[in-house]
Amino acid sequence: MGGKSGEREVSLRSGAGVLGALKRQGYDAVGIDVDEHTAEKLRAEKIEVAFLALHGKGGEDGAIQGLLQIMEIPYTGSGIQACAVSMDKTATKYVLDRMKIPYARTYIFTPGRGVAEQCAEMLKSLRLPIIVKPACEGSSLGCALIKIPEDAEREVAPLLARYPDLIAEEFIKGQDVTVGILGAGADARALPILELIPDNEFYDYEAKYTKGMTKFICPANLSQELTRKAQQLALDTHRALGCHGVSRVDIIVDPQGDCFVLELNSIPGMTETSDIPAEYEAAGGSYDELVVEILNSATLER
């Protein structure tokens, strides 16, 4: 848990929750704050299995998975390749496109090209409103909503300077839902769908991690047909990206009943306000049971 990404504090909260659940159930568990001495810490603690609650860069991009593979320590969640691809929203879209899985129309910025030129291209290829985001960040870090053309350069310039992997998507108005997936391949299953109704204009970092700023409805207010459609779309995405053990797929359902995949999170949050624990509870399980199920999926073979 922890690490050095922009999601460090959220990761520490996830890790603390998981650690508490493991200890309550009698596991000999320790928390490891990931840094340049992680390999030594793993050896010193004689770690047999790693439960990954490491969000963001270093955790969801295949880096920690590579270290654990080399050290031959089984770990939870997806493998190196699935994490690397799913962490990169641009790479994810290439896979979704190949597998004919619907996603929002997208513009990809190119580092080194002029901001004005690219904003003009973006406005020509996408319909307003447009949401701009880094391709390789989580927790809605670095996002901006553009509603009028005049705001494009003002919003994009500072973000492009900070995030060279910037992308833009058409902002689809509809129901924000998220679907937790447990398992792998043919054995993967979708959890009850969670609908998110944030106080803010979209489900940003503040809305995600501040109690009371988002209304959660689980199961989501969807028809049976739409529920099955969204769950199947999430399963298809999990499988297309080669994910294992646990993931969470964020989806927008528009007023016409069309579903669009926003992204897949290979190490979903496990905090007190996180989505998958709420979905698991709606399915009749407890937080502690969820932790054990994810732990039991740990492996080196994927």
**Active site amino acids:** 7, 139, 209, 248, 250, 263, 265, 269
Smallest CA-to-CA distance from 170 within 247, 214, 105, 107 is with: 105
Enumerate the H helices of the chain as residue ranges: 8-24, 38-44, 63-71, 80-87, 89-98, 115-125, 152-162, 205-209, 224-240, 275-282, 287-296
SS3 195: strand
* Strand 194-198 to 175-182 pairing: antiparallel
CA 137/CA 101 separation, integer angstroms? 22
Smallest CA-to-CA distance from 275 within 290, 260, 261 is with: 290
CA 296/CA 134 separation, integer angstroms? 33
Smallest CA-to-CA distance from 152 within 109, 122, 112 is with: 122
**Crossing angle for the helix pair 89-98 and 224-240, to the nearest 10 degrees:** 110
CA 134/CA 163 separation, integer angstroms? 6
SS3 8: helix
